[in-house]
């Protein structure tokens, strides 16, 4: 007699969580949940090895929620995740499980989002914080995230955090939390550094290992296209035009992407519709029925929306956005090749994601071959063939007598050959859409074999600092290699003004750029660190404005001063910089009075006020080249600050970023010396260094923000006060 399946109610979870699980449709725990939840409910530490997609989030979220005290509005649990997407996903899972826990608050914190909303939420009070290591460290240093009362800490996908170079930040966060906390560490693999973390920071953990499932896809031909040289949408369009298919599902990662891609495909003449989690069940069923009936040919879907979808005519699955893990991939492509039918799976993948490609081959036990993108000539050949077929079909349908008569009349009246009339009519029918692609359209460049120098890239985050073991010959050799360096297709090499001498590591660079530029770490390429500078490969379509924003970002105490690096090894001067006049070269007439007093070093009176205050109040700081023993940073004296009122607020559309930018630009003041900014409906307050010159204040009164003059004035009771932290750590300064 077989044992009945385990139920969630047998795991000791409270009724509110059981109701939520029933609402979601969870019937019984997955293997990782059944093995892990009992240990965590007993307050044991857990070391879990399981793949993504096994239900791992619920295995730690449910025990955490069962012990949350809703009457205490401070962080009681902390979850570290390697990426912004995973942090958001985990936070959403917490919120869905806690739907019957009124007053529960979870906050995702990650780079690329303004600090303002995160700081506001932390001030209001949250019970669980989920975030990426870099942004967590920022909040810890700002004093906005208090970890002193954390009772549970979860490390999710620890091996990914190791791969991305975040392991030092993870250890720093571990050391900031109470020693008596409960800790759960989950990782798909257990490399030595992760084992060391577990041995150091987990106390007698229960070890749980769930074997990865392997799935065969014998009826599905799997191919991939290496994203390079051609826009993804153009590449997809070529495939759709040349590849014969019946019905198709195209997977994207986000709800917004489903809508956008479906609209773009529809505009290009393909019958497509989006399905995502924002649609109700009736809308979803209608879209699926349209696909079944042949009224549409393409569904653009997210993973969640496509669950349980079974449509016989689906011949192709396209992974337009790469899935997070092999198991998600196998679920996606399982929508085709059913019941003995043949299916086609096409994967769009970047050069940086080749490791996932190998993992997919292992999971499916099938090779994934390279797809040769259809050429312009192939697309045009198909278009010409279809054009001729349309003519044949129209002739066969008959009913052309009226039009034949009109053509004959036109031919006699204007003495124009019938063939030219036919060509004009064909052009009229096409409208503004050209029949053929232009042959000069940029073609996809051939995939190159990875160079030997790329081998072992995954371990870069584990390496010790190389400056100590490089002799002069090694350095010269690496300098020559930099001069000969050629980026991957679709990538551009950039030079960063930070290197070994400053104590930088790849993880520092990855974290800074990911947080500040909102670029996923998986899209970053090769990183080479030299004594005085570093080189990094980034997507070649980064806008100039984003490069300008990255220039002042500091890593290891050094501004990045990022610049493009050519294959010849010479730096390119950014065009944006060449065009932009320096403020000192052509100051406005009304600014001359207070800016003409700049000294030879280029510092104005406002900057002198700040520097003088810093010299008087702050002891010199040690360089950051080597990390000291891990301990909480000491508080130092700060700058005398004053609170000012400006007559522009949220009702006018003002944001902290607008205000900070205007003040920094017009006052010639480094934005790191601008303190707390508080927005109200019709006015705002801002903290600035004390001792601002009167003529500067008079000038700032006339500055415009969001269509209004700010009319800056000393706030009521705005006497000077001393900040406890450094100006750049103010609690309400936007990024």
- Same domain? 134 vs 185: yes
Secondary structure of residue 483 in the 3-state scheme: helix
The DSSP result for 134-160, as a single string, is HHHHHHHHHT----TT--EEEE-SHHH
- Whether residue 215 lies inside any domain: the answer is no
Query: Is pLDDT at 148 greater than 50 in this prediction?
Result: yes
Residue 315 has what pLDDT?
A: 94
Domain termination site, one of 209, 232, 262: 209
Instruction: Please state, in angstroms and rounded to a whole number, the distance separating the CA atoms of residues 350 and 521.
Output: 12
Q: Do 75 and 159 reside in the same domain of the chain?
A: yes
Residue 199, helix vs strand vs coil: helix
Q: Average of pLDDT values for 215-224? A: 78
Has residue 164 been placed in a domain?
yes
119 assigned to some structural domain:
yes
* Beta pairing, strands 640-646 & 713-714: antiparallel
Where does the pLDDT of residue 339 fall: very low under 50, low under 70, confident under 90, or very high at 90 and above? low
pLDDT digits (tens, 9 = 90+) for 286-323: 898 999 999 999 999 988 777 667 788 999 999 999 88
What is the reported pLDDT for 351?
80
Percentage of the chain beyond pLDDT 70 is: 75
User: Quick one: average pLDDT of 544-570?
Assistant: 79
CA-based nearest residue to 22, from 100, 88, 94:
100
676, 660 contact by CB (below 8 A): no
pLDDT given for residue 390 in this prediction: 85
Question: What pLDDT sits at residue 151?
Answer: 96
Q: pLDDT confidence of 5, banded at 50, 70, 90?
A: low
Per-residue pLDDT tens for 579-621?
333 333 333 333 333 333 333 333 344 445 445 544 444 444 4
Position 450 pLDDT exceeds 70: no
Mean local confidence (pLDDT), 175-180: 93
340: left (phi over 0), alpha (psi -120 to 50) or beta: left
Instruction: Flag whether 2 is in a domain.
Output: no
For position 552, what pLDDT does the model report? 87
| Residue ranges in 268-375 assigned as alpha helix (H) | 281-292, 326-333, 354-364
- Nearest Cα to Cα of residue 173 among 205, 201, 195, 207: 201
Locate 279 and state its tokens.
């649609």
CATH of the domain at 595: 3.30.70.330
Nearest to 521 by CA among 132, 238, 74: 132
Higher-confidence residue: 156 or 671?
156
Q: What letter would DSSP give residue 469?
A: G
**pLDDT given at position 485:** 64
Is residue 408 scored above 80 in pLDDT? yes
The phi and psi torsions of 123 (rounded to 5 degrees) equal -70, -40
> Are 413 and 362 contained in the same domain?
no
Same domain, yes or no: 383 and 371: no
The most confident of 481-485, 568-572, 720-724, by mean pLDDT: 481-485
CB–CB of 674/686 below 8 Å?
Answer: yes
The residue whose two tokens read 């857990």 is 46
pLDDT for the residue 217: 62
Q: Is the pLDDT of residue 732 over 70?
A: no
Give residue-wise pLDDT tens across range 342-393.
899 999 988 877 778 888 888 788 889 999 888 888 888 888 888 898 889 8
Average pLDDT of the segment spanning 685-714: 80
Same domain, 67 and 171: yes
Spell out the residues 6+ positions from residue 350 whose beta carbon is closer than 8 angstroms to its own: 226, 227, 322, 490, 522, 523
Question: Minimal CA–CA distance to 523: which of 510, 509, 508, 506?
Answer: 510
Domain shared by 197 and 52, yes or no: yes
Q: Domain of 497?
A: 452-579
Top-ranked range on mean pLDDT: pick from 164-168, 260-264, 443-447, 470-474: 260-264
pLDDT (0 to 100) of residue 676: 83
The answer on pLDDT for 106 being more than 90 is yes
With contact defined as beta carbons under 8 Å apart, do 84 and 132 qualify? yes
Tell me the percentage of the chain whose pLDDT exceeds 90.
Answer: 30
- The domain tally of the chain equals 5
Q: Are residues 668 and 594 in the same domain?
A: yes
Instruction: Return the higher-pLDDT residue of 471 and 104.
Output: 104
**To which H or E segment does residue 60 belong?**
helix 56-66
Average pLDDT of the segment spanning 155-176: 90
pTM of the model: 0.40
Say whether both 26 and 147 belong to one domain: yes
Contacts of 304 (CB under 8 A, 6+ apart): 276, 277
C-alpha torsion 733→92→167→555, nearest 10: -20
Residue 219 binned pLDDT confidence (cut-offs 50, 70, 90) = confident
Helices 401-414 & 418-430 angle (0-180, nearest 10): 120
Q: Whats the size of the chain, residue-wise?
A: 735
Q: Please indicate, yes or no, whether residues 276 and 138 belong to a single structural domain of this protein.
A: no
Residue 264, φ and ψ in degrees, nearest 5: -70, -40
What is residue 366's three-state secondary structure? coil
What pLDDT digit, counting tens, does each position of 34-56 carry? 999 999 999 999 999 986 656 78
Place 332 in a pLDDT band, splitting at 50, 70 and 90.
Answer: confident
Look at residues 521, 458, 519, 462 and name the one whose alpha carbon lies nearest to residue 81. 521
Rounded to whole angstroms, the Cα distance separating 240 from 236 reads: 6
Q: How far apart are CA 595 and CA 602, in angstroms?
A: 10
Q: Cα–Cα distances in Å, from 623 out to 89, 560, 711?
A: 38, 16, 40
Whether the per-residue pLDDT at 398 is higher than 50: the answer is: yes
pLDDT of residue 261 exceeding 60, the answer is: yes
Please indicate, yes or no, whether residues 165 and 227 belong to a single structural domain of this protein: no
The CATH number of residue 353's host domain is 3.40.50.300
Nearest 5°: phi and psi at 472?
-60, -40
Domain assignment of residue 383, yes or no = yes
Residue 445 has pLDDT above 60, yes or no: no
Q: Is residue 13 part of a domain?
A: yes
Same domain, 167 and 247: no
Predicted pLDDT of residue 590: 35
The per-residue pLDDT for 674 is 80
What integer best gives the mean pLDDT of the chain? 77
Q: What pLDDT, in 10s, does the model give residues 460-508?
A: 333 333 343 334 444 444 444 455 566 777 788 899 998 887 878 887 7
Q: What share of the chain is helix, strand, coil (3-state, %, to 5)?
A: 40, 15, 45
Residue 477's pLDDT is 44
**Does residue 680 share a domain with residue 610?**
yes
- Find the Cα–Cα–Cα–Cα dihedral 236, 239, 240, 242, rounded to 10°: 160
């Amino acid at each position: 007699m077989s044992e009945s399946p385990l139920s969630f109610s047998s795991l000791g979870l409270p009724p509110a969580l059981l109701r939520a699980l029933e609402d979601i449709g969870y019937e019984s725990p997955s293997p990782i949940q059944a093995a892990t939840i009992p240990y965590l409910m007993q307050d044991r530490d857990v070391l879990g090895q399981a793949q993504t997609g096994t239900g791992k989030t619920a295995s730690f979220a449910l025990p955490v929620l069962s012990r949350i005290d809703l009457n205490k509005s401070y962080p009681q649990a902390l979850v570290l995740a390697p990426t912004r997407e995973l942090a958001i996903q985990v936070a959403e899972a917490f919120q869905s499980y806690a739907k019957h826990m009124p007053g529960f608050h979870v906050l995702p914190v990650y780079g690329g989002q303004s600090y303002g909303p995160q700081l506001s939420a932390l001030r209001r009070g949250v019970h669980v914080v989920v975030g990426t290591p870099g942004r967590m460290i920022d909040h810890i240093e700002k004093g906005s995230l208090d970890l002193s009362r954390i009772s549970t800490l979860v490390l999710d996908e620890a091996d990914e955090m190791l791969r991305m170079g975040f392991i030092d930040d993870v250890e720093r966060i571990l050391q900031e939390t109470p020693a008596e906390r409960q800790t759960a560490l989950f990782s798909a693999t257990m490399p030595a550094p992760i084992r060391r973390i577990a041995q150091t920071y987990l106390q007698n953990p229960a070890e749980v290992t769930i074997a990865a499932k392997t799935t065969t896809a014998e009826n599905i031909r799997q191919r991939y296209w290496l994203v390079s040289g051609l826009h993804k949408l153009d590449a997809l369009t070529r495939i759709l035009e040349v590849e014969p298919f019946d019905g198709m599902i195209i997977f994207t990662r986000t709800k917004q992407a489903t809508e956008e891609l479906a609209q773009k495909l529809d505009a290009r003449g393909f019958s497509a519709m989006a399905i995502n989690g924002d649609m109700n069940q009736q809308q979803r069923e209608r879209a699926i029925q349209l696909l079944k009936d042949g009224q549409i040919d393409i569904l653009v879907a997210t993973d969640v929306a496509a669950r349980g979808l079974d449509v016989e005519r689906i011949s192709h699955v396209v992974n337009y956005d790469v899935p997070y893990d092999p198991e998600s991939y196998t679920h996606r492509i399982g929508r085709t090749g059913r019941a003995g039918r043949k299916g086609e799976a096409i994967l769009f993948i970047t050069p940086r994601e080749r490791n996932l490609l190998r993992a997919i081959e292992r999971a499916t036990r099938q090779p994934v071959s390279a797809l040769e993108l259809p050429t312009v000539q192939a697309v045009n050949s198909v278009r010409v063939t279809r054009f001729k077929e349309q003519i044949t079909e129209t002739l066969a349908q008959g009913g052309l007598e009226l039009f034949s008569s009109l053509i004959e009349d036109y031919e006699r009246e204007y003495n124009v050959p019938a063939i030219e009339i036919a060509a004009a009519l064909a052009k009229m029918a096409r409208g503004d859409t050209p029949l053929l692609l232009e042959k000069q359209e940029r073609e996809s460049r051939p995939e190159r074999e990875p160079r030997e120098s790329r081998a072992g890239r995954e371990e870069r985050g584990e390496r010790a600092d190389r400056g100590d073991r490089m002799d002069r010959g090694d350095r010269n050799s690496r300098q020559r290699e930099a001069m000969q360096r050629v980026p991957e297709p679709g990538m551009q090499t950039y030079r960063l003004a930070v290197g070994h001498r400053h104590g930088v590591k790849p993880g520092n660079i990855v974290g800074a750029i990911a947080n500040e530029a909102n670029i996923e770490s998986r899209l970053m390429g090769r990183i080479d660190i030299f004594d005085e500078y570093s080189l990094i490969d980034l997507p070649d379509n980064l806008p100039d404005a984003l490069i300008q924003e990255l220039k002042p970002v500091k890593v290891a105490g050094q501004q990045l001063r990022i610049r493009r690096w050519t294959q010849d090894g010479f730096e390119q001067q950014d065009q944006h910089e060449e065009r932009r006049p320096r403020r000192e070269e052509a100051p406005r007439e009304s600014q001359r009075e207070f800016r003409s007093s700049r000294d030879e070093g280029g510092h104005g009176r406002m900057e002198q006020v700040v520097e003088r205050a810093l010299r008087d109040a702050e002891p010199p700081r040690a360089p950051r080249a080597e990390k000291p023993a891990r301990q909480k940073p000491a508080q130092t004296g700060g700058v005398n600050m004053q609170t000012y009122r400006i007559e522009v607020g949220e009702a006018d559309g003002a944001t902290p970023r607008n205000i900070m930018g205007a003040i920094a630009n017009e006052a010639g003041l480094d934005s790191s010396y601008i303190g707390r900014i508080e927005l109200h409906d019709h006015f705002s307050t801002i903290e600035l260094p004390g001792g601002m010159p009167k003529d500067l204040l008079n000038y700032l009164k006339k500055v415009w923000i969001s269509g209004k003059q700010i009319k800056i004035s000393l706030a009521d009771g705005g006497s000077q006060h001393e900040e406890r932290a450094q100006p750049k750590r103010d609690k309400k300064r936007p990024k």
